[in-house]
Amino acid sequence: MKVAVMGYGTVGSGVVEVIESHKKSITARTGGEMLEVKHILDLREFPGDPHSDMFTKDFNDILTDDEVKVVAETMGGVNPAFDFTMKLLKAGKSVVTSNKELVAQKGLELLKAAKDNGVNYLFEASVGGGIPIIRPMSQCLAANNVEGIAGILNGTTNFILTKMIEDGMTFEDALKLAQDNGYAEKDPTADIEGFDACRKVCILASLAFGKHVYPNQVNAEGITRITLEDVSYISDANGVIKLLGQIKSIDDDHIAAFVSPAVVFNGSQLASVNGVFNAILVRGDAVGDVCFYGQGAGKEATASAVVADMVDSAIHTERRRNFGWGDGSESYVVDEKAVLSMPFYVRAKSSQSAVMSALGNVKFLKRVGQPSDEVAFITDSMTQNELVDKLDGIDVINIIKVTNY
């Protein structure tokens, strides 16, 4: 079967490599059908690349080629990926993607177009890189009501936090190292401000609860305000800081979905997920907690998930019926700050007595080199809005949610 790849960046070039290096196993899994890359779409030049006969700058070469049945979209971004994908689906070609931005923004429309045209739109690589999560969620866990999901969904930020926690490295040095290793997005803002994790939360929430969740409905806070001081206090509480995407069922018509740094206590399955690794913990009413763990970023890991979707599409030339969700609504995602009660970590320029008169009993934390006018503590459970009200008049430096996963 002839296939095409759109976007020859880290993931796209990995897809071509995996198809070429795994011919035997891929052919065995497709039942004898060999995947053969016929076109690679990219506007850039790749002098010396051995695939020069496959490169094209014209999308129509793929669209109008009747031999090409499956296309991998690894361009990233919404435009022109949306337009290209829509045209391909309407032309009866299956599309597989690692593009979480596109699935989070336009998944509903693209899944509908795939359905209407009897082809597949598959996106296993869009969440968790190489970790199988989309299929397990939509198939193996299908009998469960999902109560909640908590995930370390961004490899770059987990790598940075791990370097800060384990090596005392500064945020800037750790980010540079993540970029050098090819983990970070082109613009690292998407990683460090939590936007990349936010898109993955949208996809997981849409899949788990059956209604589309858009990125602008999800509060996203990144890790740029986390300092080595916070790391040190939280280690005194026997925990670590992780950037978590969290989704919680509220009632039949509402969910909470948000991205934020979170205190995870040692002993949690999520606490020991380090470096570029991701983990997604799904809490189902029948199965209990299930945790999916593996490489959430990186060329080969992500490419392996894209190629798996290509194999799936080559086997199921007719549309798979189990992927899809319905429309959401503006009020569907609630503001977790107003609704969810939990403990919080707080660091402030203040005194223990001022904190106790504002909040009652809290658990105070210590660190080496702690200034006499700085306090850090873990509160009882309350909503974030209640906490902020109670802290009125206190010079707060940082507030971090504490998770119960």
Q: With CB under 6 A as the contact rule, which of the stretches 162-170, 181-189, 306-314, 331-339 interacts with ligand HSE?
A: 181-189
CA 370 vs CA 21, 73, 168, 241, 294: distances in Å: 54, 50, 16, 19, 37
The correct pick among 191, 221, 309, 312 for binding ligand HSE (CB under 6 A) is 191
**Region of 18-26, 58-66, 183-191, 387-395 interacting with ligand HSE (CB under 6 A):** 183-191
Which of 4, 184 has the CB closer to ligand HSE? 184
Q: Is 374 in the site for ligand HSE (CB under 6 A)?
A: no
Does 155 interact with ligand HSE (rule: CB under 6 A)?
A: yes
User: Interface with ligand HSE includes 184 (CB under 6 A)?
Assistant: yes
Closer residue to ligand HSE in complex, CB, 161/255:
161
Per the document, the length of the chain is: 405
CB of 232 to ligand HSE, least distance (A): 25
Termini Cα distance of the chain:
44
The token pair at 171 is: 């945020």
Is 13 a binding residue for ligand HSE by CB under 6 A? The answer is no
Pairing of strands 219-220, 146-152: unpaired
Sign (positive or negative) of CA dihedral 342, 345, 350, 353: positive
The residues, any chain, with a CB within 8 Å of residue 144's CB and separated by 6 or more, are: 284, 285, 286, 287
Query: How near is the Cβ of 184 to ligand HSE at its closest, in Å?
Result: 5
**Active-site choice (93, 200, 242, 248):** 200
| Binding string, residues 353-372; x marks residues near ligand HSE by CB under 6 A | --------------------
Burial class, 297, CB count within 10 angstroms (exposed 0-12 / middle 13-18 / buried 19+)? buried
**11 binds ligand HSE per the rule CB under 6 A:** no
Closer to ligand HSE by Cβ: residue 222 or 296: 296
Residue 253: burial class (beta carbons within 10 Å; 0-12, 13-18, 19+): exposed
Q: Which is nearer to ligand HSE, 97 or 350 (CB)?
A: 97
Using CB under 6 A as the binding rule, whether residue 129 contacts ligand HSE is answered as yes
**297 binds ligand HSE per the rule CB under 6 A:** yes
- Contact flags string 195-224 toward ligand HSE, x per CB under 6 A: -x----------------------------
Q: How far apart are the C-alpha atoms of 279 and 274, rounded to whole Å?
A: 10
Task: Supply the DSSP string of 180-212, one letter for each residue.
Answer: HTT-S-SSTHHHHTSHHHHHHHHHHHHHHHSB-
200 a catalytic residue: yes
For residue 80, whether the previous peptide bond is cis, meaning omega lies within 30 degrees of 0, is yes
The residue within the footprint of ligand HSE, chosen from 7, 151, 222, 296 (CB under 6 A), is 296
State the minimum distance, in angstroms, from the CB of residue 130 to ligand HSE: 10
The Cα–Cα gap between 190 and 224 comes to 12
Task: Answer positive or negative: Cα dihedral of 108, 109, 110, 111.
Answer: positive
What CA–CA distance (Å, rounded) separates 40 from 135?
27
Of residues 125 and 376, the one with the C-beta less far from ligand HSE: 125
Residue with tokens 């119960």: 404
With respect to ligand HSE, which residue has the nearer C-beta, 105 or 379? 105
Cβ of residue 205: shortest distance to ligand HSE, in angstroms? 17
Does 193 help bind ligand HSE (rule: CB under 6 A)?
Answer: no
Q: Does 183 bind ligand HSE (CB under 6 A)?
A: yes
Residues in touch with ligand HSE (CB under 6 A): 129, 154-156, 183-185, 191, 196, 296-297
Q: Which residues are catalytic?
A: 200
